[in-house]
Structure 1
Amino acid sequence: MTEKSLVSLTGQKTSLLLNIAEGAELLYWGKKLQASPDAQARALSRAVPYGRLDSDVPVTLMPESGRGLFSSPGLEGHAQGKHWSPVFTLKTIEHLDSGIVIYSEDSVAKLLLKTELMLDKESDVIKLCHTLTNNGEARYTVNRLALTLTVPERASECLSFYGRWVHEFQQQRQVIQHGGYQQENRRGRTSHEHFPALVVGTNAFNETCGEVWGVHLAWSGNHRLRVDVKADGRRFIQAEALYYPGEIELAQGESVSTPWLYASYSASGLNSMSQQFHRYVREHILRFSPAEKVRPLHLNTWEGIYFDHRPEYIMQMASEAAKMGVERFIIDDGWFRGRNDDKAALGDWYLDEQKYPHGLEPVIEHVLAQGMTFGLWVEPEMISKNSDLYRQHPDWLLQLADYDQPTGRNQYVLDLSRDEVFEWLLARLDSLLSQYQISYLKWDMNREVVQPGHLGRAAQTRQVERVYQLIDRLRAQHPQVEIESCAAGGGRIDYEILKRTQRVWPSDNNDALERQFIQRGFSYFFPPEIMGAHIGARHSHSTRRVADIHFRGITALFGHMGIELDPVKESEEEKAGFSHYIALHKQYRSLIHSGDLYRLPGDDPAAQVISAIVAKDQRQALVSVAQIAMPTWALSGALRVTGLLAQQRYRVSVIACADNFRQGIVNTQPAWVYEGAELSGEWLEQAGLAMPVLDPESALLLLIEAIN
């Protein structure tokens, strides 16, 4: 290791140090180093234990089995059975203001490796990508191409995410001392089960304490994430897109790139890590259209009418929605030809003239006349066998032709690798957006992918890439149209799809209690303004649970808010509740969609979920306290709020709560509940407020404002 072989990258709070002598080894990734590390880096030279190889073998950004690394390599492949153990040597390095680009080659295998490592100096988020090029005459088959980041030996716990339909973004923890942890997704989209992100950290890390290293693979298809502990104690995180056999073959001059891996380090727990990711997403991922920087409040018709489309009735719904303050009205599934249930018509993207005998224009004109914009649901990647499109083009399915593929949601997937399929879909979507005044598409993808074959070969990776291209082409033609990524709820949510969409739907579950957990898991990597959060009906359609309007309203407040129901059928009392929370969301929308999110630890974490959003200038905050179960004890301790200015005095007041909050199961609530309180930021963070007693499945919303 020499000073010439060292590369240092520094952000606001983070430093990275790489040794590029043999591959690119990440020597240090942690808290910002104030002094130049170059002259001191030799202190990190490792011992070489007896009974092993006679020289030190680094774990690089591209681990190589050919160097004697007996753990998961970064590349597995071959050229007709040869060149299966490549070793790359440095060719050139390009220094950029935000990072480095390293070019390495294996002159025997005729492979060129380009490694891009960037550190955003404002958010402290790093991103990493490999591109492999075959310069040999023989075709090179790539079985795996993975991204690797090393973390220190003190990283001893892993936080990962699991779930299923209507139960996404759940959290679990594992101790990582030997072996490791691995998750795989083979469902053809990001998946409900294994969102492609995880966090490792020091023992018992939490929202406010401990060192954490978080990673997210920006890929909307099959993936693998793993955390490995080597026999010598070194640890690394590895992430990759999963390839089917024979899927990636490179002819001479052809290349394949990994998805981007995004990562961030925090010395002060998960909240800081999340805020760094949120800042990066806001500044570098999101691409809102100029007309829609303020996130308009939605009504989606799905749980209101399902497939029962009557234009006059839908216009009544729009009128009622506008009265409550809705700003965007979206017609969901059921509008197109022959679509009366979920068993037919996908692919026939033409208006059902039996349901809409006068066309869709009168409905849209009515929506626009109410001061709202109009949106429409589509599921372009799918096809039903009971459809005109399938009867005309049965060969357009993504399939292996000699097998009987199982259905999912009574539907199949179109083969986007076929240019004629791609161009047909683009033309249909372009026609819809050109014919009608549509400013928003809810883009759904409701099934998992089985046997993704194109002309007999695996084409899952190509399918995902073509979805990206389809959205890119459509948005180039209609830049003012915004798109929501929905996949039976939270089945396709990642930074790469988010570069092309402006909203995601975390779950088909609008149950406020379940949403507390779903939205909390979601918040680790995504900011509130892109999270669809709807007030559903009093009786949840997904769980049959009953919740009052206040619990539903407060739960939906900390996102991109909407409602999902039939407002015509709702009682005046319920509609008054919707109107109240719609107005409340609009009042604080700019704070919610720009502030720093804190997941606050409480004294009764088994029974409460507490969150705060603090303005950038730290002069205002909203705090949500959700009572998810019976209190563990008769009293619930203190509420402490972080992120405020220590010496600033604040006024604390209750601005939303259940109707019976101040009476019922308590003799009296704490005095501040009735009178408000004036407290310093230091007091709120260290001493806090006596927690009130709350009913199970209820919530409280507090406003904290600076006094002066």
Structure 2
Amino acid sequence: MMKQGVFSLNNLIYINQDKLEFHLTNGHISYIMKVMPKIKQLESVYFGKAVHVRDDLHNLDEYEPGSGCQIFPNTGIASLEHRRQEYPTYGSTDFRKPAFEIKYEDGDKISNFQYDSYQVLDGTPFYKDMPHVRYADDAATLVILLKDQYSDLELKLNYTIFPDIDIIVRNAEFFNPGKNAYHILSAKSASLDLPTSNYDLVTLNGAWARERHVNRTPLRPGIQEIGSVRGATGHIHDPFIALADKNTTQNLGNVIGITLMYSGNHQETIDVNTYGTTRMMTGINDADFDWILEPMSNFVTPQAVVSFSDKGFNGLSHNYHDLIRDHIIEKHWQNPKRPVLINNWEATYYDFNEEKLVKLAKEAKDIGCDLFVLDDGWFGHRTTDSGSMGDWEVDKDKLPDGLDHLVNRIHDLDMKFGLWFEPEALSKDTDLYKGHNSWLLGNNKKHLSQGRNQYLVDFANPVAVNFLFKKMSKIIDKIHPDYIKWDMNRNITEPYSNYLPKEEQGEVFHRYILGVYHLYQMLTEKYPDILFESCAGGGGRYDLAMFYYAPQAWTSDDTDAYERWQIQTGTSYVYPPAIMGSHVSIVPNHQTGRVTPLHSRVNIAIFGTYGYEFDLTKLSPDEKEELKKGTKQLRHFHDLIFKGDFYRLEPSNPNHGAWEVNSKDKKHAVVCYFYGLSEPNHGYYHVKLAGLDPNQLYEVNGKRKLYGDELMNIGLPLTEDFRGHEDDYWSQAKTDFDTKIFELKAINE
């Protein structure tokens, strides 16, 4: 497709070289920007639903002088405060938050990065030490090179577009080819200026055991911001923000989302100025960040994933889900079925021996489990959560014959074996600390706080990271586990690295998470067939970057069915069920004390990587039979749930909820309906489905036969026809937090 003055090498990126205008489009979305004349900085023109590729953009020009400071007086060029910019700078007529800030040798912080050139590359950028989007040979990347007029510094802005996913991946690369060092005080991954503020802001917020609840609030003038300074993405704020039109629903309306591929301190900012323009930014948190850009070195920001949907929040989620499953998760783990696991934690906590574990494994095998996971407490002298963190040697009091003997007995049951580690944790009663006390993160001359009675290893120190790699490898090579759960149960306090010099202490947080990535990289490269699951006190480090290494993550330490419905609903805005650790546990629930029906715990848990978290030896025969059915149900729906399109539905009763997953060919679907609190004398319930073929006839649970258009416009009836057997209606069991599963199969008329 060629336009006068415009050319494209790949039908994804169109360029007017004379006017320096750039249009990225895949026919579904358009991302348009241009170089501002004289200023030579990048101006944002448009991001949203695809528009025509024009020969030039002069019909979209807006250049009213406006009030305020002028960069060039008497030129008719408005100040940057009035312009929508791609990567706004600090301190030069724009009084909003900048995307970056650099301190020069004389203490000055004013930069002037101007357009120099561009490149169009096939595929996506590759970063050896940072998680990145991958497996996308059919994608294209526009690279804009900017050069600072006050130094030798160079800045590359990367924009990757995909032919089949409505996403733009952005990040920035700073390079210092000169002889002087500079301090990067802020470096965001992406900034997006939008022409209006008539949006609702959507964020995913919470705390430990109640992560990623959905919050929606109107924008207001000024700054609205979320983030983390905990050294991890954190339970409190997911690194995701979305701006939705006021009328946007799950299936209708426009929404723009940005999420960050990073596991450390993050910051998401909405800045609405006095002219009603909205700036949307994400990246590494500015707090306690000071990166020294040495001569001949570069600094790469994490990738930001920007998406647009005109099909509501579900459309936005589909974009993210497809990207994660196809372009972030390691290819080796994209297709294999996930094992059904039993984790011993809530069954035994620290009180176990080999016989108790094997007995639990046999019960798990009987209900269909494939994988036995030994959690915390197998090492050192760990009988409580105080001590032993860092001494990764088996506790011979609990396992006198060693881990390998236990593993062999589990394998003899034709089950896989998994092991829990928390490599970042450190206790002062360990040989690791006594031999390497300088590896503790924090200044030993000052008071250091604890989290879960433990400290942290300084992962900014590559010697410490390599030591842990060798220590873990020794255990792995001896017992040959099939699965590893990597936990991290505390945040960073009193940040200080005994390894780094004093002038580099502003780099501790970022270098720490790079150390985490490095250990993950070494382990997954050496042991590609081990299934890794990430965890951080539940969902405390739940982000795109973690899924680059571990194809699944423990979604929350809260396994209560009611809480999990809310947590997994919010989580699904960005993350697909295929990566959500979701298990069935005992009642009363250990986190909430709530009692929920066993079938509801099963029905909710199958929408994730499924397993069990309680003492199966204490269950009744009826409960075991129900769990056997649950395991079979998971296996029946596994591929559909893991590979299909996930929808959050909007039932007629606002106190209820519903999930739906459709196969890509729209021939098979499953719906989970959640009733919440039981209601007496209620009316008829129904829910409108989504994403079906309107002309296809579907059979629902082998009974009703309804067309797709009926199911999407009239709705799925949730009540049955009791004519002729009314007594069955009055005698049916009623319970709070009830759920029902509906299976839809395409049939011929």
Q: Which amino acid aligns with 1:512?
A: A
Cα displacement (A) at 1:391: 2.2
CA distance change for structure 1 residues 637 and 627 in 2, over 3 Å: closer, same or farther?
A: closer
Name the residue aligned to 1:510.
559
The structure 2 residue matched to 1:528, chosen from 568, 577, 584, is: 577
Name the residue aligned to 2:45.
27
Following the alignment from structure 2 to structure 1, what is the Cα–Cα distance between the partners of residues 658 and 58?
Answer: 42
The structure 2 residue matched to 1:121, chosen from 146, 160, 163, is: 163
Name the residue aligned to 1:36.
53
Name the residue aligned to 1:49.
66
The structure 1 residue matched to 2:468, chosen from 420, 425, 429, is: 425
The structure 2 residue matched to 1:163, chosen from 185, 201, 206, is: 206
Following the alignment from structure 1 to structure 2, what is the Cα–Cα distance between the partners of residues 584 and 157?
Answer: 38
CA distance change for structure 1 residues 140 and 224 in 2, over 3 Å: closer, same or farther?
A: same
Cα displacement (A) at 1:368: 1.5
The structure 2 residue matched to 1:682, chosen from 692, 709, 713, is: 709
The structure 1 residue matched to 2:672, chosen from 607, 624, 642, is: 624
Q: Which amino acid aligns with 2:26?
A: G
Note if contact 2:183-2:293 (Cα within 8 Å) is conserved in structure 1: yes
Name the residue aligned to 1:698.
738
Q: Which amino acid aligns with 1:160?
A: T
Q: Superposed, which structure 2 residues align to 1:528-547 within 5 Å? A: 528-547=577-596
Name the residue aligned to 1:225.
268
CA distance change for structure 1 residues 490 and 345 in 2, over 3 Å: closer, same or farther?
A: same
Following the alignment from structure 2 to structure 1, what is the Cα–Cα distance between the partners of residues 603 and 470?
Answer: 41
The structure 2 residue matched to 1:99, chosen from 134, 137, 141, is: 141
Secondary structure in 2 matching 1:7:
strand
Matched, 1:565 2:641: no
Note if contact 1:604-1:632 (Cα within 8 Å) is conserved in structure 2: no
Following the alignment from structure 1 to structure 2, what is the Cα–Cα distance between the partners of residues 43 and 632?
Answer: 59
Note if contact 1:351-1:359 (Cα within 8 Å) is conserved in structure 2: yes
Between the two proteins, what is the percent identity of the paired residues?
29
Question: Cα deviation per residue 1:545-586 (whole Å; 9 max; x = unaligned)?
Answer: 111211101110111111111111222221111111111000
The structure 2 residue matched to 1:634, chosen from 682, 693, 698, is: 682
| Higher deviation after alignment, 692-701 or 540-549 | 692-701
Following the alignment from structure 1 to structure 2, what is the Cα–Cα distance between the partners of residues 46 and 202?
Answer: 26
Name the residue aligned to 1:667.
none
Secondary structure in 2 matching 1:335:
coil
Cα displacement (A) at 1:228: 1.3
Q: Superposed, which structure 2 residues align to 1:287-686 within 5 Å? A: 287=330, 289=332, 293-455=336-498, 456=502, 457-458=505-506, 459-605=508-654, 607-631=655-679, 634-635=682-683, 637-653=685-701, 676-686=703-713
Q: Which amino acid aligns with 2:321?
A: H
Cα displacement (A) at 1:309: 2.1
Note if contact 2:168-2:306 (Cα within 8 Å) is conserved in structure 1: yes
Following the alignment from structure 2 to structure 1, what is the Cα–Cα distance between the partners of residues 371 and 63?
Answer: 60
CA distance change for structure 1 residues 248 and 290 in 2, over 3 Å: closer, same or farther?
A: closer
Secondary structure in 1 matching 2:589:
coil
Matched, 1:204 2:243: no
Name the residue aligned to 1:18.
33
Note if contact 1:510-1:534 (Cα within 8 Å) is conserved in structure 2: yes
- 5+ residue gaps in structure 2? 1-15, 71-75, 123-139, 721-733
TM-score, normalising length: structure 2: 0.88
The structure 2 residue matched to 1:84, chosen from 98, 109, 124, is: 109
Cα displacement (A) at 1:402: 2.2
Following the alignment from structure 1 to structure 2, what is the Cα–Cα distance between the partners of residues 450 and 375?
Answer: 31
Secondary structure in 1 matching 2:238:
coil
CA distance change for structure 1 residues 468 and 39 in 2, over 3 Å: closer, same or farther?
A: same
Q: Which amino acid aligns with 2:21?
A: L
Cα displacement (A) at 1:243: 4.6
Note if contact 1:154-1:201 (Cα within 8 Å) is conserved in structure 2: no
Cα displacement (A) at 1:489: 0.2
Following the alignment from structure 1 to structure 2, what is the Cα–Cα distance between the partners of residues 24 and 192?
Answer: 35
Q: Which amino acid aligns with 1:389?
A: L
CA distance change for structure 1 residues 155 and 436 in 2, over 3 Å: closer, same or farther?
A: farther
Q: Which amino acid aligns with 1:571?
A: S
Following the alignment from structure 1 to structure 2, what is the Cα–Cα distance between the partners of residues 283 and 369?
Answer: 35
The structure 2 residue matched to 1:150, chosen from 185, 188, 193, is: 193
Q: Superposed, which structure 2 residues align to 1:51-66 within 5 Å? A: 51=68, 53=70, 55-56=77-78, 57=80, 58-66=83-91
Following the alignment from structure 1 to structure 2, what is the Cα–Cα distance between the partners of residues 557 and 532?
Answer: 10
Q: Which amino acid aligns with 1:704?
A: L
Note if contact 1:266-1:273 (Cα within 8 Å) is conserved in structure 2: yes
Note if contact 1:471-1:500 (Cα within 8 Å) is conserved in structure 2: yes
Question: Cα deviation per residue 1:274-293 (whole Å; 9 max; x = unaligned)?
Answer: 00111111110011536971
Question: Cα deviation per residue 1:265-307 (whole Å; 9 max; x = unaligned)?
Answer: 0012000110011111111001153697111111111111111
Cα displacement (A) at 1:183: 1.0
Name the residue aligned to 2:728.
none
Name the residue aligned to 1:72.
97
Cα displacement (A) at 1:539: 1.9
Following the alignment from structure 1 to structure 2, what is the Cα–Cα distance between the partners of residues 637 and 515?
Answer: 23
Note if contact 1:244-1:460 (Cα within 8 Å) is conserved in structure 2: no
Cα displacement (A) at 1:77: 2.3
The structure 2 residue matched to 1:286, chosen from 321, 326, 329, is: 329
Note if contact 2:195-2:276 (Cα within 8 Å) is conserved in structure 1: no
Cα displacement (A) at 1:592: 0.7
Name the residue aligned to 1:259.
302
Secondary structure in 2 matching 1:508:
coil
CA distance change for structure 1 residues 156 and 3 in 2, over 3 Å: closer, same or farther?
A: farther
Q: Which amino acid aligns with 1:514?
A: E
Name the residue aligned to 1:668.
none
Following the alignment from structure 1 to structure 2, what is the Cα–Cα distance between the partners of residues 41 and 203?
Answer: 30
Name the residue aligned to 1:669.
none
Cα displacement (A) at 1:244: 5.0
Note if contact 1:603-1:636 (Cα within 8 Å) is conserved in structure 2: no
CA distance change for structure 1 residues 393 and 529 in 2, over 3 Å: closer, same or farther?
A: same
Note if contact 1:156-1:177 (Cα within 8 Å) is conserved in structure 2: no
Following the alignment from structure 1 to structure 2, what is the Cα–Cα distance between the partners of residues 41 and 558?
Answer: 50
Secondary structure in 2 matching 1:143:
strand
CA distance change for structure 1 residues 121 and 41 in 2, over 3 Å: closer, same or farther?
A: farther
Question: Cα deviation per residue 1:150-186 (whole Å; 9 max; x = unaligned)?
Answer: 2341641100111111010111122114224111211
Note if contact 2:251-2:690 (Cα within 8 Å) is conserved in structure 1: no
Following the alignment from structure 2 to structure 1, what is the Cα–Cα distance between the partners of residues 430 and 447?
Answer: 18
Cα displacement (A) at 1:76: 1.4
Secondary structure in 1 matching 2:94:
coil
Cα displacement (A) at 1:196: 0.5
TM-score, normalising length: structure 1: 0.93
Cα displacement (A) at 1:193: 0.2
Following the alignment from structure 2 to structure 1, what is the Cα–Cα distance between the partners of residues 320 and 679?
Answer: 33
Following the alignment from structure 1 to structure 2, what is the Cα–Cα distance between the partners of residues 639 and 513?
Answer: 19
RMSD: 1.9
Following the alignment from structure 1 to structure 2, what is the Cα–Cα distance between the partners of residues 631 and 20?
Answer: 61
Q: Size of the alignment, in residue pairs? A: 685
Q: Which amino acid aligns with 1:124?
A: D
The structure 1 residue matched to 2:219, chosen from 153, 170, 176, is: 176
Following the alignment from structure 1 to structure 2, what is the Cα–Cα distance between the partners of residues 165 and 626?
Answer: 23
Q: Which amino acid aligns with 1:387?
A: T
Note if contact 1:12-1:123 (Cα within 8 Å) is conserved in structure 2: no
